[in-house]
Amino acid sequence: MTAAQTTTLGPDSDLSQIFELAQQLRVDSVRASTAAGSGHPTSSLSAADLMAVLMTRHLRYDWDAPDNPAGDHLVFSKGHASPLLYAMFKAAGVVSDDTLMTTYRRFGHRLQGHPTPVLPWVDVATGSLGQGIGYGVGIALAGRDLDKQPYRVWVLCGDSEMAEGSVWEALDKAGHYRLANFTAVVDVNRLGQCGPTELEWDTGTYARRIEAFGCRAIVIDGHDLQAIDQALTTAADGQAPTVVVARTVKGRGVAEVADKEGWHGKALPEDMADRAVVELGGVRNLHVRGPQPPAVTPAPIPAAGPIELPRFEVGGKVATRVAFGHALAALGARPDVVALDAEVGNSTHAQDFEKAHPERYFQTYIAEQQMIADAVGMAVRGYRPYATTFAAFLTRAHDFIRMAAVSQITMALCGTHSGVEIGADGPSQMGLEDLAMMRAVHGSTVLYPSDATSAAALTAAMAELDGISYLRTTRGPYPVLYDGDETFPVGGSKTLRHSPHDRVTLIGAGVTLHECLAAAEHLAAEDVPARVIDLYSLKPVDAGALAQAAQETGALVVVEDHHPEGGIGEAVLSALAATGSHPAFSHLAVTDLPGSGTTDELLDAAGISHPHIARAARALLGS
């Protein structure tokens, strides 16, 4: 196999040239996956015609300047078709044939098994199916309503992933917001991983669903280059969000695998690959220079106004969710801060932002996965999203949050109504797993303020952090503990009570800190001086203060309104282990399934109220 001479294709290339490009993408998909010994060539072959037309005539993109703000965005929701994407990179001239053949799926290289943003032409990591359309909607929303950029967003999806509910959350939003800059192309190749897909080639049903969800559907033969060209032209007419439903053949172009079961996710053995390359017309060296982004005069970036965080009077009772809302509204003075709500903004107080900055407030309704997808899309465009719902309901978006970490996205999440503290609404509404979930997210920061002053300060601190940060807030009002001039560095803590004679340290955050303070009063009355630490930063955690408390007091009681696993207690234990500290230790957390009741009843029933804390301290001290 020798490479032919280089020919450059562009928007004016005719369809016969584009056919050659499609064959090249197929050949390179086969070669790259066979060279790697794994990958998804057949899933790449089905979409090669679609992508050949797109990149030659429709994708307005400067491959040498992926950060051009006017450039289109391409999201491979079917991330397993990475051989095709990387073959496109070769055709675009940004990845060499040698790199494709020798580094795909190899350790230490960028051409990973599924695309991630370690590649400058990739906005978001994919590979967990059903997410790309959501991200595309978020990027399109940012382009139209925030950036005011002329870019279009193109998403390539598989047909199997159309079974994910998240796809319909996303298309619903594309329709609802009338995102005419959004196009998805569904590669209906009929075969999933295990066999035929649910709808196989029933493109009519796909189209009816898409239309019912408010998008324009265009059904085509996904191997008819002219039909593809017409569909993409229509999609780009600026009239409506569009989904091109393309009937295709998995393994198209390679007779030995075309439309055959048992070839999902398998590289062709070398002899088959050789035959396939011959059948596809051999190795080519076509280059593509497609349409360029329109020249735009960059809009002046609005200056950030002064951020005046709310101040609260020490001793007054204010819920941390209220302080979060005030602070978020104040942060809106930064033009890059946006807020997203899943239709609970009046409970979470995210709505305070809407009142101050309605143009940067996005209502996703009760669709937490799409709320995170929108946030990711906006973060791709450089915004700093704050997405908020009840802590319990962030679990709905766990996979999106996990993938956002793989995408190395920076965004702030706030979960309100944490723990049994919420009272009468009962266990379905109590976030009792959120700390474990958010601590285990790669590169996350986890914050849990106990009073309004620290909640406001930490809300603001999140705007300076990289990666995914999480703020846990509480439903009820509790005393303000700190003066407005107090600072709350991420990774720090506050020691609220201490003396040289402390015999035990009580550690809490959120509602349990207030219980710790009450317990310390009781213990003081019994001549048991207790240190109290406000552990407002759980990741990173203030290992130094914890080690010091362990050394000086010898006994620690950690109390949390969360299940025992993965939360404050284990964060403290990890910190103590890392510092070689070995205090006597007691851990109070929610172990039984709670019901309804008042806050006090539920805290007490869970064994995390101040009498239980005092008792645990006494037990540690053997008194």
Binding residue for a copy of itself, selected from 193, 226, 239, 623, defined by CB under 8 A: 193
Which x/- pattern, by CB under 8 A, does the window 525-564 give for a copy of itself?
Answer: --------------x----------------------xxx
Name the amino acid, one letter, at 232.
L
By beta-carbon proximity to a copy of itself, the closer residue of 201 and 365 is 365
Binding residue for a copy of itself, selected from 197, 242, 450, 454, defined by CB under 8 A: 197
- Least separation, in Å, of the C-beta of 21 and a copy of itself? 27
CA distance 535 to 533: 6
> 382 to 421, contacts with a copy of itself by CB under 8 A?
392-393, 395-396, 398-399, 402-403, 405-406, 408
Smallest CA-to-CA distance from 381 within 410, 341, 339 is with: 410
Half-sphere exposure of 40 (CA within 13 A, CB side): 25
Judged by CB under 8 A, does residue 105 bind a copy of itself? yes
CA distance 570 to 584: 14
- Least separation, in Å, of the C-beta of 439 and a copy of itself? 4
CA distance 470 to 266: 39
| Continuous segment of H or E residues that includes residue 506 | strand 504-508
- Least separation, in Å, of the C-beta of 471 and a copy of itself? 17
> 128 to 147, contacts with a copy of itself by CB under 8 A?
128-130
Half-sphere exposure of 126 (CA within 13 A, CB side): 27
Tell me the CA distances in angstroms from 318 to 306, 458, 534, one per residue in order. 24, 15, 17
486 catalytic? Reply is no
- Least separation, in Å, of the C-beta of 498 and a copy of itself? 23
User: What 3-state class would DSSP assign to 515?
Assistant: helix
Binding residue for a copy of itself, selected from 237, 595, 619, 623, defined by CB under 8 A: 595
Binding residue for a copy of itself, selected from 61, 151, 154, 168, defined by CB under 8 A: 168
Judged by CB under 8 A, does residue 441 bind a copy of itself? yes
> 600 to 619, contacts with a copy of itself by CB under 8 A?
601-602, 605
Tell me the CA distances in angstroms from 293 to 95, 151, 253, 377, one per residue in order. 21, 7, 32, 19
> 220 to 279, contacts with a copy of itself by CB under 8 A?
none
By beta-carbon proximity to a copy of itself, the closer residue of 169 and 229 is 169
Q: Which two tokens stand for residue 257?
A: 């695998």
As a residue count, the chain comes to 623
- Least separation, in Å, of the C-beta of 516 and a copy of itself? 18
Q: Which two tokens stand for residue 605?
A: 């029933």
CA distance 218 to 286: 29
Binding residue for a copy of itself, selected from 49, 123, 341, 352, defined by CB under 8 A: 341
Site residue total, a copy of itself (CB under 8 A): 113
The residue behind tokens 């909607």 is 137
> 353 to 372, contacts with a copy of itself by CB under 8 A?
363-367, 369-370
- Least separation, in Å, of the C-beta of 235 and a copy of itself? 21
Judged by CB under 8 A, does residue 427 bind a copy of itself? yes
Q: Is residue 188 left, alpha or beta, with left meaning phi > 0 and alpha meaning psi from -120 to 50?
A: beta
Judged by CB under 8 A, does residue 439 bind a copy of itself? yes
Q: Which stretch binds a copy of itself (CB under 8 A): 141-149, 223-231, 233-241, 575-583?
A: 575-583
Binding residue for a copy of itself, selected from 113, 281, 477, 611, defined by CB under 8 A: 113
Q: What are the helix (H) ranges across 312-446? A: 320-331, 345-348, 351-356, 368-380, 391-394, 398-406, 434-439
Q: Which two tokens stand for residue 195?
A: 């066999």
- CB atoms inside a 10 Å sphere around CB 14: 9
| Contact between residue 193 and residue 14 where contact means Cβ atoms under 8 Å apart | no
> 7 to 66, contacts with a copy of itself by CB under 8 A?
36-39
By beta-carbon proximity to a copy of itself, the closer residue of 327 and 568 is 568
* DSSP states along 159-208: SGGGGSHHHHHHHHHHHHTT-TTEEEEEEE-SB-SSSB-SSTT-HHHHHH
Chain centroid offset of residue 62 CA: 26
CA distance 81 to 319: 48
- Least separation, in Å, of the C-beta of 16 and a copy of itself? 36
Binding residue for a copy of itself, selected from 22, 140, 437, 496, defined by CB under 8 A: 437
Would you give the DSSP letter of residue 593?
P
Q: Which stretch binds a copy of itself (CB under 8 A): 85-93, 106-114, 290-298, 309-317?
A: 106-114
Judged by CB under 8 A, does residue 203 bind a copy of itself? no
Judged by CB under 8 A, does residue 570 bind a copy of itself? yes
- Least separation, in Å, of the C-beta of 452 and a copy of itself? 23
Judged by CB under 8 A, does residue 343 bind a copy of itself? yes
User: What 3-state class would DSSP assign to 602?
Assistant: helix
Q: Which two tokens stand for residue 574?
A: 């990890």
Q: Which stretch binds a copy of itself (CB under 8 A): 59-67, 241-249, 303-311, 430-438?
A: 430-438
By beta-carbon proximity to a copy of itself, the closer residue of 288 and 420 is 420
Catalytic residue among 368, 421, 433, 570: 368
Q: Which stretch binds a copy of itself (CB under 8 A): 16-24, 61-69, 270-278, 343-351?
A: 343-351
Tell me the CA distances in angstroms from 216 to 172, 228, 243, one per residue in order. 12, 15, 6
Name the amino acid, one letter, at 304.
A
Judged by CB under 8 A, does residue 163 bind a copy of itself? yes
Binding residue for a copy of itself, selected from 28, 161, 352, 421, defined by CB under 8 A: 161
Judged by CB under 8 A, does residue 127 bind a copy of itself? yes
- Least separation, in Å, of the C-beta of 290 and a copy of itself? 27
Q: Which stretch binds a copy of itself (CB under 8 A): 189-197, 229-237, 322-330, 480-488?
A: 189-197
Tell me the CA distances in angstroms from 339 to 329, 378, 383, 580, one per residue in order. 9, 10, 10, 42
Angle made by CA atoms 139, 145, 147, in degrees to the nearest 5: 70
Judged by CB under 8 A, does residue 125 bind a copy of itself? yes
Q: Catalytic residues, which ones?
A: 368
